[in-house]
Amino acid sequence: MTDQHQSDFRERMTILGELDAASFLPWIRRHAAKLGLAQAIAHTSSDRVELDITGPVELIDMMEIGCLLGPIDVWVETIHRTPIGRIS
């Protein structure tokens, strides 16, 4: 059996939409924790959240899908992802 090493990636996830619900930021933190991702909120406003997130790319993909489907009291229009770097 081969030992597969997964590298972690760091990305800036910019979430745009109607995001002024007080539940969205705690939801982001809980969802990232459930996926085992490190996260830091870099910017928040009623229409934009910038999130720095670190972990395996597959789990970052899952985080993106989760945010698109996220809490019912927000409306996510789009998510832009920008690679920041790779962590070995």
Distances (CA, A) of 87 to 45, 52, 62, 76: 29, 14, 19, 28
pTM, full prediction = 0.86
Whether 75 shows a pLDDT value over 60: the answer reads: yes
Whether 85 shows a pLDDT value over 80: the answer reads: no
Work out the average pLDDT over 56-75: 93
Residue extents of the structural domains in the chain: 19-87
pLDDT at site 3: 38
pLDDT tens, residue by residue, 19-45 = 977 889 999 999 999 999 999 999 999
- Calpha distance 20→4 (Å, rounded): 41
- Calpha distance 61→63 (Å, rounded): 5
